[in-house]
Amino acid sequence: MPDRGGGPPTGPRIRVGRPSRRVRTLLMTLGVLAVLAMAFTMFAGFWTDWLWYRSVHYSSVFKTTLWTKIGLFFVFGLLMALAVGFNIWLAHRLRPPLSAMSMEQQNLDRYRMGIAPYKRWLLLGITALVGLIAGASASGQWRTWLMWVNGVPFGQKDPQFKLDVSFYAFDLPWYRFLLGFGFAAVIISVIAAALTHYLYGGLRVTSPGARATAAATGHLSVLIGVFVALKAVAYWLDRYGLAVKSSDFKATDSWTGLRYVDANAYLPAKTILFCIAVICALLFFATIWRRTWQLPVTGFGLMVLSAILIGGLYPALVQKFQVQPNEQAKEAPYVEKNLKATRDAYGIEGTQVAEYPGVSQTKDQTKLRDDVDAAASIRIMDPNVISPTFQQLQQMRNYYAFPNNLDVDRYSKDGKDQDTVIGLRELNLAGIPKKNWINNHFRYTHGYGVVAAKGTEVDSEGRPVFTESDLPSKGDLGTYEQRVYYGEKTTTYSIVGGPQKEIDYSDDNGEKTFSYKGDGGVDLSNPINRAAYAAAFSEPQILYSGAIGEGSRVLYNRTPKERVEAVAPWLTIDGDAYPAVVDGRIQWIVDAYTTTNGYPYASRTTLGDTTADSLTAANNQRAVVAQQNQVNYIRNSVKATVDAYSGDVKLYQWDTEDPVLKTWMKAFPNTVQDKSEISDTLMAHLRYPQDLFKVQRELLTRYHVKDANTFLSGSEVWQVPDDPTNKSGDAVPPYYLSMKMPDQKQQAFSLTTTFTPNGRDNLSAFMAVDAEAGTEGYGKIRILKLPTSTTVNGPKQVQSQLNSEQDIAETIRLLRGGDSEVEYGNLLTVPLDGGLLYVEPVYVRGGDLKYPLLRKVLVSYGGNTAFENTLDEALAKVFGEAEEGSTQPPPDEGEDTTEPPPTSTNPTVREALSDAQKAFDAGQKALEQKDLAAYAEAQKDLEEALQRAEDAQARTDESGGKNGDDKNGDKGEDGKASPSPDPTGDSGSGQGSG
């Protein structure tokens, strides 16, 4: 009988078989291997971190940080999981026994049936997920926890609530974290409970009858009551938060602390709202018995309305009708509190502000020339310009390099301190002859030697006068370990000490090899360590390379700032680490700060912006490494050193009174050594840090005044001028200089800067701080405030004068002849006899010599300006030889950029000038061909020819103008000889030629 049904079609069936056992085994094996690979990668990161901290002897930092993070993760992750899990479980337990027969509930039945077999796993999964998220968030608060549990008192109380500053710095941040965690736990619990009640019929949206069962109403009311109670706690903490609240203010955009409206409107409003929130929370808790939402919802609405009216509208009315009509009188008491707190928090409370006339008090300025040497050791070697000169003259090999910005230090010779420009010959992998893995990481591993030069001298060619030079380095620094394995430019890892020899340095006898003998780095003899680093560095060759063997050690994290930040993750690191030779070793010296943003009433500053200047803009390596960018308290509490050979890091307690440092020393015991451990030789090289100085100078643009009314008026607001030596528009960097302030008896190594009025370019003030550590005056800030009734040129105006003076501008044009480039050095400012002396070196990169040589020095004082070959010549002209107000430079002698000498009809003079022109041209050609010997010979010929011309002209002048020298032929209208643009004298002009 034929099939009439609708059964399946006949024909061969295609069976989809399960994978074979071999395939399943393979897939399972691959899955297990993938899991193991991920697990080992995670382990490698942990294990290499542990090995690194152990190698630098700071394993306690690693352990303390790790266990704190783990503890916070599990405690708060478990609390969040329990809170959410308990409320889901409770909502499920309080579900109604029968669901209403409605379309809504019928639809929900399908979901209920679907998840019924997996309820337990679903509950565990949800709680585990929220617990992991909460735990990870809480572990990031390890600094907050450690500061709270280890906090020590400041011994100072805020003026409003009379609480110790430690409450705001250490306690309040932790309480706010707990409050935020509580809010998150309650909100997630409310959402999870509401969804569970809805799923099981406790809450209904479209079903007829009551919208919520009594059990659901009570449960959710309690949770909302807890939320409102937490809001009450928040209102109470907000009262104290007013003392560290940031707000815009007319005098500053970083104001912190209570103002009139805060003390008289917000503070009582927060107290009232606290009381209302407590009552509202009690009403929500009462629904457990009343089983109705009416009263608590009404109370909640009143609380919201009160928050708007009392917390928002009322303070606005107070500000509008009480403060604004008489703002100065109302705000003055609170401004005084802010002034005092800010000055205390930034260490500027002892700033000495003195009036300074700004103009010379001596009529006979020729007497001031000798005073200049006593006033300052003027540094004409700019460490931010001459790095290419160090590079060209002392690099020796392409695989060495110097930092872009060199450093200034002090070294003593024959009992006399000398400002010294110093740099290390560091490893430069970009210059190695052939790049491969062995060369990059095994053979070229370190730099070699210190190069140093006098800061106040140059040789006859405008080059630095080196006090330590050559390879290996030799000079005034004596014997020391010269190999540089750790430095600012050393950013890759090296593997040293094993079978593969390293290139030490090269000399005329060829390459010298070396094998690292220090205890820095991590031992790679262990195969587990090799595997871990192969995974951590993503470099499998580490695992099997024959270049690694017994004694091999891997060096990484090699920049000084990077190492200090790693061993002390609670410190902010100064942007400028600098090297010094101390006790036969090269030590990197790193300044470090403790900070907080919880100092009541002290205005906040942004470290990244405040410490930025024209140098950090050009070299990001000089940027501050900030743990907390917004701060309102800072101390240079730690001086750190990093050994350039072994990488050893040492932290020294510098500020023995800093409560923030004491707190961290409790949290990380035995990591910071006592100040008494600093040796005398190390102390001689410690200095006042630049980034702290830049923060302080930015604050002192406003906080140099102590009178509240003056502060409010803004009439004496200063600004840090832009760097006049370039067009970057960034702030001028501070400069280290040995100088003497008016109240000092002798020179002190100082850090200096200038101020200009807000929106103007003339000078407002000069600021200096004693920067030499270990001296009685260390850290004393002095400000010389210029009168507003007189106008004294600021840095930008002095630079403009340099560029606009006709004779100086012509000289600069000649200096730029050919393809030469002119670079302006640091514009130094020195107080001198009531006036201000400006000195700026000018460098030239001539021809193919792509490194700067000092060619001119600008000196300006009291309206007199000189632009000469040497500092002595410029000072002599400003203070003696030049007439008052004269800015015309004399002919340049002894260099390729010499201005043409004056014309003369004397044939002997004409012949000598012709020879001078030929020597000048020969010198230029020698420079282009980089023939220094020929250049030196040309300079000698030039000097002889100019001397002959000078002698012949002198004889002519003594004979009363004989030999055809008429009255006006070689003189300007003022009777003075003027330089001629034509070195042969054939200009065709008579009077005023040149």
Q: What is the pLDDT of residues 324-374, one digit of tens each?
A: 888 888 989 999 999 999 999 999 999 999 999 988 877 777 788 888 988
Instruction: Identify which has the larger pLDDT, 250 or 583.
Output: 583
Instruction: Give the whole-angstrom CA distance, residue 235 versus residue 764.
Output: 45
Structure tokens at 975: 């009777």
Contact present, 453 and 473 (Cβ < 8 Å): no
Structure tokens at 708: 């509240």
Contact present, 166 and 152 (Cβ < 8 Å): yes
| 350 CB burial (10 A radius; 0-12, 13-18, 19+) | exposed
Q: Which residue has the tokens 């290996």?
A: 472
| Mean pLDDT rounded to a whole number for the chain | 85
Per-residue model confidence (pLDDT) at position 511: 87
Instruction: Give the whole-angstrom CA distance, residue 257 versus residue 600.
Output: 6
641-650, 880-889, 919-928: least confidently modelled range: 880-889
Instruction: Give the whole-angstrom CA distance, residue 376 versus residue 737.
Output: 8
Half-sphere exposure of 524 (CA within 13 A, CB side): 27
Per-residue model confidence (pLDDT) at position 909: 65
Instruction: Give the whole-angstrom CA distance, residue 220 versus residue 834.
Output: 77
Instruction: Give the whole-angstrom CA distance, residue 260 versus residue 516.
Output: 66
Going by C-alpha positions, the residue among 918, 913, 915, 889 that lies closest to residue 985 is 913
Q: Which residue has the tokens 């004491």?
A: 662
Q: Could you count the other beta carbons within 10 Å of the beta carbon of residue 384?
A: 22
CA distance between the termini of the chain: 130
How, if at all, do strands 835-845 and 828-832 pair? antiparallel
3-state secondary structure 110-158: HHHHHHHHHHHHHHHHHHHHHHHHHHHHHHCCHHHHHHHHHCCCCCCEC
Q: For 666, list phi and psi in degrees, rounded to 5.
A: -70, -40
Instruction: Give the whole-angstrom CA distance, residue 572 versus residue 564.
Output: 10
Residue type, 349: E
> What is the CA 457 to chain-centroid distance, rounded?
31
Q: Residues 479-518: pLDDT tens digits?
A: 999 999 999 999 999 999 999 999 998 887 888 999 999 8
Instruction: Give the whole-angstrom CA distance, residue 547 versus residue 524.
Output: 11
Share of the chain above pLDDT 70, in %: 86
Residue 569 contacts by C-beta under 8 Å, 6 or more apart in sequence? 61, 65, 627
Residue 132 contacts by C-beta under 8 Å, 6 or more apart in sequence? 77
Contact present, 570 and 594 (Cβ < 8 Å): yes
Burial pattern 784-803, b for ≥16 Cβ within 10 A else e, equals bbbeeeeebbbbbbbbebbe
Q: Residues 406-424: pLDDT tens digits?
A: 999 999 888 888 899 999 9
Examine residue 472 and say whether the peptide bond preceding it is cis (omega within 30 degrees of 0). yes
Please calculate the CA angle 28-30-36 and round it to the nearest 5 degrees: 105
Largest CA distance in the chain: 151
Query: 673 - beta bridge partners?
Result: 652
243-247, 387-391, 936-940: least confidently modelled range: 936-940
Going by C-alpha positions, the residue among 630, 569, 631, 596 that lies closest to residue 167 is 596
Q: Residues 585-622: pLDDT tens digits?
A: 999 999 999 999 999 999 999 998 899 988 887 777 78
Structure tokens at 84: 């959410």
Q: For 583, list phi and psi in degrees, rounded to 5.
A: 50, 45
Q: Residues 314-324: pLDDT tens digits?
A: 989 998 899 88
User: Any idea what DSSP says for residue 653?
Assistant: E
| Strand, helix or coil for residue 227 | helix
Q: Residues 167-187: pLDDT tens digits?
A: 999 999 999 999 999 999 999
Residues 397/400/403/408 CA torsion (nearest 10 deg): -70
Distances (CA, A) of 269 to 156, 229, 258, 259, 261: 27, 17, 14, 14, 11
Q: Could you count the other beta carbons within 10 Å of the beta carbon of residue 822?
A: 18
Burial pattern 654-668, b for ≥16 Cβ within 10 A else e, equals bbeebbbbbbbbebb
Task: Out of 643-652, 716-725, 804-813, 844-853, give the one with best mean pLDDT.
Answer: 643-652
Whether 981 shows a pLDDT value over 90: the answer reads: no
Per-residue model confidence (pLDDT) at position 886: 38
| 645 CB burial (10 A radius; 0-12, 13-18, 19+) | buried
Residues 236/241/242/244 CA torsion (nearest 10 deg): 170
Phi-psi bin for 314: left (phi > 0), alpha (psi -120 to 50), beta? Answer: alpha
Please calculate the CA angle 694-695-700 and round it to the nearest 5 degrees: 95
Instruction: Give the whole-angstrom CA distance, residue 886 versus residue 863.
Output: 9
296-300, 658-662, 846-850, 867-871: least confidently modelled range: 846-850
pLDDT band at 982 (very low <50, low <70, confident <90, very high): very low
pLDDT band at 531 (very low <50, low <70, confident <90, very high): very high
Q: What global pTM score does this model have? A: 0.82
| 912 CB burial (10 A radius; 0-12, 13-18, 19+) | buried
Whether 973 shows a pLDDT value over 50: the answer reads: no
| Strand, helix or coil for residue 965 | coil
Per-residue model confidence (pLDDT) at position 904: 55
Instruction: Give the whole-angstrom CA distance, residue 81 versus residue 75.
Output: 10
Per-residue model confidence (pLDDT) at position 889: 40
Instruction: Give the whole-angstrom CA distance, residue 863 versus residue 836.
Output: 10
Per-residue model confidence (pLDDT) at position 499: 92
pLDDT band at 987 (very low <50, low <70, confident <90, very high): very low
Query: 255 - beta bridge partners?
Result: 247
Burial pattern 132-158, b for ≥16 Cβ within 10 A else e, equals eebbebbbebbbbbbbbebbbebeeeb
Going by C-alpha positions, the residue among 634, 577, 638 that lies closest to residue 603 is 634
Q: Could you count the other beta carbons within 10 Å of the beta carbon of residue 954?
A: 11
Per-residue model confidence (pLDDT) at position 958: 54
Q: What is the DSSP string of 506-553?
A: EETTEEEEE---S--SEE--SHHHHHHHHHHTT-THHHH-TT--TT-E
User: Any idea what DSSP says for residue 977?
Assistant: B
Contact present, 633 and 660 (Cβ < 8 Å): yes
Whether 989 shows a pLDDT value over 60: the answer reads: no
Instruction: Give the whole-angstrom CA distance, residue 444 versus residue 543.
Output: 20
- Specify the length of the chain in residues: 994
Per-residue model confidence (pLDDT) at position 979: 36
Per-residue model confidence (pLDDT) at position 788: 84
Instruction: Give the whole-angstrom CA distance, residue 358 versus residue 831.
Output: 9
